[in-house]
C-alpha cells in the first residue's frame, strides 16, 4: 500500500489541532507509561552518546528526554507543522536547541543517519507501515524502537472494536485520519528479513513496546 496526499493531509490536520494540548499534557503529567518503557529500554541498551531519530516526533518531548538521558543529538520529523513548531519552541525553552532539530516531513519518504530510530505510536496513524518501517531501519545503524496498539491476546477484540469506533467517528467528521492495526507478524517479518532481531518486548495497558537490534555488527547508517 502507498500513502496518498489525502492521508498525509488528514494526519497533519488532526495533529495540528492536537499539538498544543499534547505539549501541555506532557509538561503537566510527564511521559505516558508506554513511552517511559521505551525510554527505559533504550537507556538499558545504550542511549548515551547516540544519535536519535524520532519519526512522528509530535511535539518533540521524547527526543528531548532522550537528550536529557545522554543521547548526543536528535532529529525529529513529523507531518504536523504545528507539532514541529511546538517542538522547536520547547527545545529552545529547554536549552537543548543546539543538539535538537525538528522538521516537517513525511518520514516514509526521507532518510536520516542515526544510531537509534524510534516511532512512538506512529505506525498506527499511517496506512503504509511497510514504507515507514523501511525508511526507519534504513536510517538506523543500531536500534529500532516502536510502540504499537496492544493488538494481541485478550486485548485484540478491545483494540479492534476501539479502532472501528474511532474510524467511524473520523469518517462521520469527514477527516482524512484513520487508525490502523498493522499485523504484528508482518512488522516482525519485515524487520527480521532485513537483518534486525527482536531484543525486547514490553506491555502497558493499551500498548506494546518493541525494541529491535541489528543482527550483525553495527554499521553506520547512510547519510
Ligand atoms: C499519536 S501521535 C504520536 C506523537 C509522539 N510520537 C508521541 O508519542 O506523543 C502520531 C504522530 O505521528 C505523526 N506521523 C504519522 N505518520 C507520519 C509520517 N509518515 N511522517 C511523519 N510523521 C508522521 C503524526 O503527525 C503524529 O504527530
Pocket of ligand 1 (CB under 6 A): 11, 15, 35, 56-58, 62, 77-80, 83, 106-108, 120-122, 125-126, 132
The whole-angstrom separation of Cα 214 and Cα 192 is: 9
CA of 197 relative to ligand 1 center, distance in Å: 24
Grid coordinates in use for 22? 499534547
Residue 222 pLDDT exceeds 50: no
Sequence-ordered list of residues with C-beta below 8 angstroms from that of 15, at least 6 positions apart, any chain: 22, 58, 78, 79, 80, 82, 83
Strands (E), 3-67: 51-55
Look at residues 149, 139, 128 and name the one whose alpha carbon lies nearest to residue 54: 139
Looking up cell 517542538, which residue turns up?
87
Angle at 210 between CA 204 and CA 216, to 5 degrees: 160
Domain boundaries, the chain: 5-214
pTM listed for this prediction: 0.93
Looking up cell 541498551, which residue turns up?
45
33-79 confidence digits (pLDDT tens): 999 999 999 999 999 999 999 999 999 999 999 999 999 999 999 99
- Mutating to test ligand 1, I would choose from 39, 79, 104, 136 the residue with most ligand atoms within 8 A of its C-beta, which is 79
Dihedral, CA of residue 117, residue 118, residue 124 and residue 127, to nearest 10: -20
142-155 confidence digits (pLDDT tens): 999 999 999 999 99
**Protein residue with its CA nearest to atom 23 in ligand 1:** 56
* CATH topology for the 5-214 domain: Rossmann fold (3.40.50)
Look at residues 132, 187, 179, 184 and name the one whose alpha carbon lies nearest to residue 160: 179
**Protein residue with its CA nearest to atom 13 in ligand 1:** 56
Contact 18, 175 (CB under 8 A): no
Angle at 86 between CA 31 and CA 17, to 5 degrees: 90
105-131 confidence digits (pLDDT tens): 999 998 999 999 999 999 999 999 999
Amino acid at each position: 500500500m502507498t500513502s496518498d496526499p489525502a492521508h498525509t493531509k488528514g494526519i497533519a490536520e488532526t495533529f495540528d489541532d492536537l499539538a498544543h494540548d499534547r505539549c501541555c499534557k506532557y509538561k503537566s503529567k510527564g511521559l505516558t507509561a508506554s513511552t517511559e518503557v521505551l525510554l527505559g529500554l533504550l537507556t538499558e541498551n545504550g542511549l548515551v552518546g547516540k544519535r536519535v531519530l524520532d519519526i512522528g516526533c509530535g511535539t518533540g518531548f521524547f527526543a528531548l528526554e532522550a537528550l536529557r538521558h545522554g543521547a548526543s543529538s536528535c532529529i525529529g520529523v513529523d507531518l504536523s507543522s504545528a507539532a514541529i513548531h511546538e517542538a522547536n519552541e520547547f527545545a529552545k525553552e529547554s536549552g537543548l536547541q543546539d543538539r535538537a532539530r525538528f522538521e516537517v516531513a513525511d518520514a516514509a519518504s526521507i532518510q536520516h543517519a542515526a544510531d537509534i530510530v524510534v516511532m512512538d505510536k506512529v505506525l498506527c496513524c499511517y496506512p503504509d507501515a511497510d514504507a515507514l518501517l523501511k525508511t526507519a531501519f534504513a536510517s538506523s545503524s543500531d536500534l529500532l524502537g516502536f510502540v504499537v496498539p496492544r493488538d494481541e491476546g485478550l486485548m485484540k477484540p478491545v483494540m479492534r472494536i476501539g479502532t472501528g469506533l474511532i474510524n467511524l467517528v473520523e469518517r462521520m467528521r469527514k477527516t482524512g485520519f484513520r487508525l490502523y492495526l498493522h499485523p504484528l507478524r508482518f512488522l516482525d517479518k519485515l524487520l527480521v528479513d532485513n537483518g534486525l532481531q527482536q531484543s525486547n518486548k514490553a506491555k502497558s495497558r493499551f500498548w506494546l513496546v518493541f525494541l529491535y537490534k541489528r543482527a550483525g555488527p553495527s554499521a553506520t547508517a547512510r547519510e
